[in-house]
Amino acid sequence: MLRIASHVIPDIYNEQLIAFDVRDTDVLAPQVLATKGPEVGTMAVSFQISAGRRLIRGETSLVRRYLLAAADCFSAMFLGTGVEGPVTYRFEGRAIEGPGMPEFYGAQTLNWLHAFCLASALRRQDVLQILDGYDRAKLKKAPTGSFDLYAIALVEGMRLFRRNDPGYVALLEEAERMSRPENLRIATPSVIGRFRALIPLVFSIARNDQAGFDKACEDAVKAHKAFYSRGKRKEDPDGLLAYHAAGIAAIGVDRGLVYNIDSEYTPRWLVYNEVP
């Protein structure tokens, strides 16, 4: 078992922030879905931050609750984008009818990847089905802002990998090639390190290669730590959970591999789908 300690963020939680968490889950998120769909992306990020803050306190049942809420918001983003008329969203098990969202609002490649990894860790098959069904042509047309072209190949490779379609190999090889430092035009290597690290992780799962899986898991968690443990990001609460690494590792665990990393970034209950 390899130990990778997480960086430390001070606990600055107070009664006001706790009240905000309660408001977000019990009132604000359902209200946003029912009346103002485009704000759902902000809610997804907010819930990830809340999960990190609760992780600092060791309140794992609440960590899981906020991650599930974030997954609900991500799925709403891809379910409602570009839809006219009412849409039935789901939040914490409740059906909520609300308006559609502007086309492409938040429904772009890296949000797809965030949602895919988070839903994989949480075993949210309902969210994964929404992502799988999201039109590929629309995803390629979506504004990508500061994202390099590797991202669309990475997303499509992940989609085909989940389907057990052998076409994922060429796509992930393309993503690896396009994300090399010499091929980047926008992002820096440090920014995309977390995403590049997922590619060998997938290939080790496909080969049922435990030794390769161990090394790829180590690299993925360390890439997350390298991104979040320095500079202006080192106190971001959402940096305490490496859910990208945990999500792909969870796929490997469900296919019979063993997760041999001991780290607060990837709690065992998340990778193994256990009750916290």
d(CA 265, CA 275): 17
d(CA 42, CA 126): 21
**Which residue is listed with tokens 């990020």?**
45
Predicted pLDDT at 144: 66
Tokens of 34: 């029912």
Tokens of 191: 């920014």
The SS3 assignment for 81 reads: strand
Predicted pLDDT at 194: 93
Enclosing H/E stretch for 113: helix 109-122
- The answer to whether the beta carbons of residues 257 and 210 sit under 8 Å apart is yes
d(CA 138, CA 48): 26
Backbone angles phi, psi at 255, to 5 degrees: -100, 10
pTM of this structure = 0.94
Tokens of 66: 């906020």
d(CA 158, CA 174): 12
Enclosing H/E stretch for 262: strand 261-262
Does a structural domain hold residue 114? yes
Query: Who contacts 276 (Cβ-Cβ below 8 Å, separation ≥6)?
Result: 60, 61, 63, 64, 267, 269
Residue 142 burial (C-beta neighbours within 10 Å; 0-12, 13-18, 19+): buried
Domain housing 82: 2-271
Intra-chain end-to-end CA distance of the chain, in Å? 20
- The answer to whether the beta carbons of residues 96 and 90 sit under 8 Å apart is yes
Does a structural domain hold residue 265? yes
- DSSP letters of 120-165? HHHT-HHHHHHHHHS-HHHHHHS--TT--THHHHHHHHHHHHHTT-
Backbone angles phi, psi at 88, to 5 degrees: -95, 110
d(CA 33, CA 8): 34
Does a structural domain hold residue 276? no
Does a structural domain hold residue 249? yes
The SS3 assignment for 44 reads: helix
Predicted pLDDT at 86: 92
Enclosing H/E stretch for 20: helix 15-23
Domain count, the chain: 1
Per-residue pLDDT tens listing for the chain (276 residues): 999 999 998 887 777 877 888 888 888 899 999 998 768 888 999 999 999 988 988 999 999 999 999 999 999 999 998 888 899 999 999 999 999 888 877 888 989 999 999 999 999 999 999 999 998 888 888 876 556 788 899 999 999 999 999 999 999 999 999 999 888 887 777 888 999 999 999 999 999 999 999 999 999 999 999 999 988 889 899 899 999 999 999 999 999 999 999 999 999 999 999 988
